[in-house]
Amino acid sequence: MSREDALARDAADPLAAFRGSVVRHDPELIYLDGNSLGMLPVATRDRLAHVIDDEWGGELIRGWHHWFDLPGAVGDRLGTTLLGADAGQVLVCDTITVNLFKLAWAAMAARPGRRVIVTDARNFPTDRYVLQGVAEHRGGSVRFVDTDPVHGIDAGTLAGALDDDVALVELSHVDYRSGVLADLPALTRLVHDCGALMLWDLAHSAGAVPIDLDQHGVDLAVGCSYKYLNAGPGAPGFLYVNRPLVEQLESPIRGWWGQRDPFDMDLPYQPAPGIARFLSGSQSVPGLYAVDSGIDSLETAGLPALRAKSMALTSYLVDLADEWLVPLGFQLRSPRDSQRRGGHVVLAHPDAHRIGVAAVRDALVVPDVRPPDLIRLAPVPLTTSYTDVYDGLMRIRELVAAGGHEAHDVSSLRVT
Amino acid sequence: MSREDALARDAADPLAAFRGSVVRHDPELIYLDGNSLGMLPVATRDRLAHVIDDEWGGELIRGWHHWFDLPGAVGDRLGTTLLGADAGQVLVCDTITVNLFKLAWAAMAARPGRRVIVTDARNFPTDRYVLQGVAEHRGGSVRFVDTDPVHGIDAGTLAGALDDDVALVELSHVDYRSGVLADLPALTRLVHDCGALMLWDLAHSAGAVPIDLDQHGVDLAVGCSYKYLNAGPGAPGFLYVNRPLVEQLESPIRGWWGQRDPFDMDLPYQPAPGIARFLSGSQSVPGLYAVDSGIDSLETAGLPALRAKSMALTSYLVDLADEWLVPLGFQLRSPRDSQRRGGHVVLAHPDAHRIGVAAVRDALVVPDVRPPDLIRLAPVPLTTSYTDVYDGLMRIRELVAAGGHEAHDVSSLRVT
């Protein structure tokens, strides 16, 4: 547990060079929140400057001749590189919220005799809210499954919630509070056994862990690009629909981009063939290029190498936390087995909110906090070194040991 | 009809200096398509570089402490500056398509005894498609009103389509094909007289003509920011809900941003008070800043001055077209009275598509074309001079007179 050991790990890290691929205004800042908002790749900054100045500013309306294909083209790249999805099944568009609405709606409509959506009672609020809205609008309801937050949802628990009234099961692949990684293959099979459709929320897993949507016959998935894909604040979401299923589904939001022939403006609505039917209106061109650029580094590094380093980093973080932070009142709220974790580690502390704020303000370490008592730490393999983890945890240890967090007023702060 | 006359008009133009406020890579290019995609303000280019590099790259997750307010803050600015809407009624978010879906759905739900949505049979495809989707999902239907495309929809025609089964009327304030400006006050009154809600699509009018939503008691409105607001390709849409109405409405897409307390993640869904209930998920931060920056120039120039110049420019364009283009087979398809037009002028020609392509490729004039035979020309007052209009129409005249468009193959081209 020496700093020399951390430096030695960095010296042996085949991905070490990527740490310099992102913008760093403050070299002292240790950023452990890439699971909320990924850092800015230098290449993305430069590409967006080009897209804005030369493409928008120079091509003007003529740019749409090639921009028009971006949601599908970037979607294909995302799918084949990071999601285990062949071309023609992924779109980068809208937000994860809107995409979840579209797919959940379409799934309910495709299972007309069934009126129930099953999800995790501890799922991210948007998931629970959107699903309840869709179920209510269609005269159905949501069945919430109570799970242990650290262990996550297991096959036995889910099986108890399934019957032939279930149209759709929606779960998060990586839990936002604990980082636990769901058993996607086994749970998908279980859902199919009861005749329902399976929708995975990949918000905390896309770009962080290997995902094989096609191989496991996943029906539907949604995700966002502002976390591990490093596409920036509010960058577009994405959606996946398994090819054999797509012609049975229709988007509830019918825009002209999802029409069979968007440029014949006299037609009545007919959904486009394939995945394009889930497009609605014009998408952010800079946002789409930012996703494309974010994929570049992940593709070059390779997902297996990223996952290997991610597991090593989170294990190293857990070891340091055991040694330094548990004696100060912290508790691990993520699985101990790195195979069961996504890209972030969660610690609980009764004073989590003050510690999070003090860490950012006084110690130049950026975790994030989630009510009531959770601190999330994401050592993102592309941009975080072992020394960052060592220094970051040491700073938090020293801060809390000295009581440096106690004076912070957090009453008016938002948690993001 | 001399070039000297055009130069003299420019010399007397109080807005002439704004022509230099946008990026111009090719000084020979005459851009008459700001009604499809507005030009790039130099200030927006610089501001986005700052937002991307310093805010995203430097503030990282900490930026959300102020980014979180942008949809409402930029919405307030848009509302008070350009829409005649007091603060607290406008959000910049999602796309115009998604916003139309949310508001049309909410309107139908708020008029449960009524099952019909009325719209213009010639409305933009997205409007027709989205409304039909919403009506069908709710067990209702759309009643299409047939209108003369140049004259637009009048009170008598609309009155014939209204009865006590109508929940919602949705119309475009400025028609995308003819540029005709609807009589918003009179039509809104008529809709209210039958107990329905009125939703205006401001896509082609926001930033182009004065709009007084509050004054005329408009219930709902949607629009986009990539046209006259110059916020770039795929920039966010906006929505307006009249304050007394908002607490009666709920968004069908329930995201955590629209929840009463987005940062308490254990709550069941309860819509936020006020307009915030129509937020769903994270919005593009660069996109929101681009809208804010686009408003800057319009606010400085002032909407009355912009409208006065717009009417003068489109009248000048019509005069030149009468003199030069009508003898070549063009016909005016916009109202002759400038008070009855929005910001663009529409001409028909049997060979419109080839002429449009040849104009861009060979004559460096950018109009846009709409099937089957329409050419749209938008001399945007902020960025277009009288000399641009003179030169642009002269180039089209010379091109068509010489048959320069005839060889162009347009079979594989998309119209955007």
DSSP A302-315: -HHHHHHHHHHHHH
Q: Which residues contact B146 (CB under 8 A, 6 or more apart)?
A: B121, B122, B157
Q: pLDDT digit string (tens) for A172-206?
A: 999 999 999 999 999 999 999 999 999 999 999 99
CA end-to-end span of chain A: 32
Chain B residue numbers with beta carbons less than 8 Å from the beta carbon of A137 are 137, 252
d(CA B64, CA B74): 15
pLDDT at residue A12 tops 50: yes
* pTM above threshold 0.95: yes
Chain B residue numbers with beta carbons less than 8 Å from the beta carbon of A236 are 284
By C-alpha distance, the chain B residue nearest A58 is B25
Element (H, E) at B201: strand B197-201
Residue B409's pLDDT is what? 76
d(CA A22, CA A4): 25
Question: To probe the interface with B, which of A42, A117, A253, A269 has the most B CB atoms within 10 Å?
Answer: A253
Q: Which residues contact A296 (CB under 8 A, 6 or more apart)?
A: A41, A43
A296 is catalytic: no
Instruction: Please choose, from the candidates A274, A237, A284, A279, the residue with its C-alpha nearest in 3D space to the C-alpha of residue A258.
Output: A279
d(CA B59, CA B67): 11
Give strand pairing partners of A174.
A181
Instruction: Please choose, from the candidates B94, B134, B400, B406, the residue with its C-alpha nearest in 3D space to the C-alpha of residue B258.
Output: B94
Question: To probe the interface with B, which of A24, A65, A67, A95 has the most B CB atoms within 10 Å?
Answer: A95
pLDDT at residue A378 tops 60: yes
Q: Where in chain B is the domain with CATH 3.90.1150.10?
A: 3-31+302-401
Tell whether ipTM is more than 0.85.
Answer: yes
Least Cα separation, residue B150 to chain A (angstroms) = 17
Tokens of A103: 């797919």
List C-alpha distances in Å: B78 to A51, B221, B229.
Answer: 25, 13, 9
How would you write the pLDDT of chain B (416 residues) with one tens digit per residue?
A: 899 999 999 999 999 999 999 999 999 999 999 999 999 999 999 999 999 999 999 999 999 999 999 999 999 999 999 999 999 999 999 999 999 999 999 999 999 999 999 999 999 999 999 999 999 999 999 999 998 989 999 999 999 999 999 999 999 999 999 999 999 999 999 999 999 999 999 999 999 999 999 999 999 999 999 999 999 999 999 999 999 999 999 999 999 899 988 777 777 899 999 999 999 999 999 999 999 999 999 999 999 999 999 999 999 999 999 999 999 999 999 999 999 999 999 999 999 999 999 999 999 999 999 888 999 999 999 999 999 999 999 999 999 999 989 888 776 665 54
Q: Which residues contact A412 (CB under 8 A, 6 or more apart)?
A: none
Strand order in the sheet with B374-377: B331-332, B345-348, B374-377, B368-370
Quick one: average pLDDT of A84-109?
98
- The CATH label, of 3.40.640.10, 1.20.1560.10, 3.90.1150.10, 3.40.50.80, for the domain at A3-31+302-401 is 3.90.1150.10
Q: pLDDT digit string (tens) for A323-366?
A: 999 999 999 999 999 999 999 999 999 999 999 999 999 999 99
Residue A416's pLDDT is what? 43
Of B23, B96, B280, the CB nearest to A57: B23
List C-alpha distances in Å: B68 to A227, A290, A414, B236, B240.
Answer: 17, 20, 10, 15, 19
Strand order in the sheet with A331-332: A331-332, A345-348, A374-377, A368-370
Chain A residue numbers with beta carbons less than 8 Å from the beta carbon of B280 are 95, 97-98, 101, 126
Tokens of A308: 């290997």
Instruction: Please choose, from the candidates B155, B245, B170, B243, the residue with its C-alpha nearest in 3D space to the C-alpha of residue B201.
Output: B170
d(CA A213, CA A239): 12
| A149 burial level (CB within 10 Å; 0-12, 13-18, 19+) | middle
Residue B416's pLDDT is what? 43
- Asked if A130 lies within 8 A of B254 by C-beta distance, the reply is yes
Asked whether B312 and B12 are in contact (CB, 8 A), the reply is no
Q: Where in chain B is the domain with CATH 3.40.640.10?
A: 46-299
**Amino acid, single-letter form, for residue B200:** W
Asked whether A175 and A146 are in contact (CB, 8 A), the reply is no
Residue B412's pLDDT is what? 60
Instruction: Please choose, from the candidates A288, A290, A283, A223, the residue with its C-alpha nearest in 3D space to the C-alpha of residue A258.
Output: A283
pLDDT at residue A51 tops 50: yes
Residue B414's pLDDT is what? 58
Report helix, strand or coil for A90.
Answer: strand
Report the residue count for chain A: 416
List C-alpha distances in Å: B341 to A366, B182, B222, B312, B384.
Answer: 54, 9, 20, 11, 17
Strand order in the sheet with A197-201: A90-92, A237-241, A220-224, A197-201, A166-172, A116-120, A141-145
By C-alpha distance, the chain B residue nearest A361 is B62
What's phi and psi for A374, nearest 5 deg? -105, 140
Residue B410's pLDDT is what? 77
Q: Which residues contact A4 (CB under 8 A, 6 or more apart)?
A: none
Tokens of B214: 């509050």
**Amino acid, single-letter form, for residue A230:** N
CATH topology of domain B46-299: Aspartate Aminotransferase; domain 2 (3.40.640)
Question: Cβ of B382: how many Cβ atoms within 10 Å?
Answer: 25
Q: By the CB < 8 Å criterion, does A402 face chain B? A: no
What's phi and psi for B309, nearest 5 deg? -70, -40
Of B36, B57, B263, the CB nearest to A40: B57
Give strand pairing partners of B143.
B118
| DSSP state letter for A215 | T
Q: Cα dihedral angle (A229, A233, A239, A240), rounded to 10 degrees?
A: 0
Asked whether B10 and B16 are in contact (CB, 8 A), the reply is yes
Quick one: average pLDDT of A121-137?
95
Instruction: Please choose, from the candidates A52, A34, A32, the residue with its C-alpha nearest in 3D space to the C-alpha of residue A44.
Output: A52
d(CA A224, CA A237): 4
Least Cα separation, residue B325 to chain A (angstroms) = 24
Element (H, E) at B100: helix B96-110
Q: pLDDT digit string (tens) for A242-285?
A: 999 999 999 999 998 999 887 777 778 999 999 999 999 999 99
Instruction: Please choose, from the candidates A201, A213, A184, the residue with its C-alpha nearest in 3D space to the C-alpha of residue A82.
Output: A213
Of A25, A65, A368, the CB nearest to B58: A25
By C-alpha distance, the chain A residue nearest B121 is A266
Element (H, E) at B120: strand B116-120
Q: By the CB < 8 Å criterion, does A129 face chain B? A: yes
Quick one: average pLDDT of A36-48?
98
A201 is catalytic: yes
Residue B413's pLDDT is what? 61
Instruction: Please choose, from the candidates A306, A120, A115, the residue with its C-alpha nearest in 3D space to the C-alpha of residue A211.
Output: A306
Looking at chain A, the whole-number percentage of residues with pLDDT higher than 70 is 99
- Asked if A233 lies within 8 A of B282 by C-beta distance, the reply is yes
How many interchain CB pairs under 8 A, A with B?
Answer: 266
